[in-house]
A and B are shown apart, each in its own frame.
Chain A
């Protein structure tokens, strides 16, 4: 499938976007050292430790009930040994995101605190859905859930007039936000979010998961991870965890249902685990 980044409508709109947040420096460096197979937990720990604020936040997260380790983890290297490189990188990215974007007040009527509460909750729900779908390291997918709607913030900040029209159509015609975005802009926040992740040089899997979280059928080889984010989003919306700006629960699409081999009997367990995980994930909201 051709990249939407090459689509002319999308390109034209993206050219209007002045304010694409840059990837925090520490993540650029992390990406660099993680490409080297000789990198050790100590190397990564030293790099993260060079930013005491980030290091302190990571230790706060890994020592919270979100991970629930029986004893206190006091060094980043120890956290890396226990959680693995990718999960620690995902935590660094998660806590850095809040400083790259606005987190307080409103943009065009979208309350940012409830927006981030929704995003963090989708991160938590995505992890649970990944766990039920037999992914070996489900915690690595928290970041996909956290960033799934990030395109909305970019659009709200950069295409204000168009987004006002979109929000008006959502309210007047009672249609889903993504439908109004498609009709007004010719693309959705999902593509814009994917564009940001591409700019940030995040993995192609994550880019695809964000791009297709409303329609995993289009994700090709990445249908399973896109489905995980899709179902994570649906679960968080059902449970009214925060508010991503869309008034309705997105319908579960057949492609996700099939890719994850879902069953209606899973719902009570899934809802319970998602809700509990989302409560624990609130530790991330301390950083907004």
Chain B
């Protein structure tokens, strides 16, 4: 019974927010579909944490991972051999394929010209040039197997170390604003930007063999998919991977097409990659974005107005309410999303909840301020008339505060439209998706495909509220005084 209930649900493949992972995710997806099991790809969900938590929580079934990441980050202390890793994963209900055939290890790179100038060959050579500027991907900067260990083992003196997006790092090093960046050894950009890979002469970086990790229950639910992805074991060597990365990142071939081309030449498998046209993509992203904004804003309004009223009625509670919503607002969106994965998984729901939480502050604050700003004479007149507290609130105080409340909702809505682009980090889609892909592929067309509609939507929201004001704010508050 349970299996048949599961059978109707497609197998979900996840991938991290960088091109190689997306290509590997696409390969697994197409192989799954080719094996006759409906398989979908939730592409570029985020970083390692997001994917791992999503896999444990059952939000995705498979994703491409690297052995080094598993033993350093996910299950620290695991010995490096595949058998030990497999056993460790098994305790979490996770299985692993054998290595796919390439090692995508970390490395440090410098522009060839600079390397020649300073005769830099290995990471050890960096120690003699303390003025070099380092720019590392945020993950590398903080991972136990990243910069912290490199810095210690090689005793590097550099202090000018900044964190930035991996894809932006290549452009930054090419433009000369930084000198040394971290590399994934299969990155296509290494050759493209003429970077020299520095020799890891003290063997800091362990092996990062690409594998697929998957939920063990998939063996019952979709054995065909597991069987299909094992065909990739040992089938992708480093040159294949670099070539595929180059096709996607440098020649802008969609990942789905890169994957299907590989499957055709290597396995003579004809798969039909799913690539949306621009109009279809825009429509899809608009629908997703509107869903995120609409639902979260409605929830914010429903919760925040009563909270603002409470804060007004009981000033002591009010201090707490205002402090809490303000504190929530300061939580970085990515952190908030990662906190929510164990509870809510990935996708639309956690994104909506994050947006809902961010929407509270402006509305609570404006409701509270609007009520507080009512002239004392008017409030007293309402009391002396003999209206009950609830009638006073509904008939007098809330209508009088309505311009301020509406202004708060408007602020929340405009912020929400912009913030909803974070939905892409957690698989909720929206305009953030093309933006994220565009940044990853250095494709300005894609970035604009997300950024322009988001800006247009924000403007529409802005003017829409002008109309709404006419309906919601009582006419008496809008007419000009004759006195």
Are A and B bound to each other? no
Interface residues of A (CB under 8 A from B): none
Interface residues of B (CB under 8 A from A): none
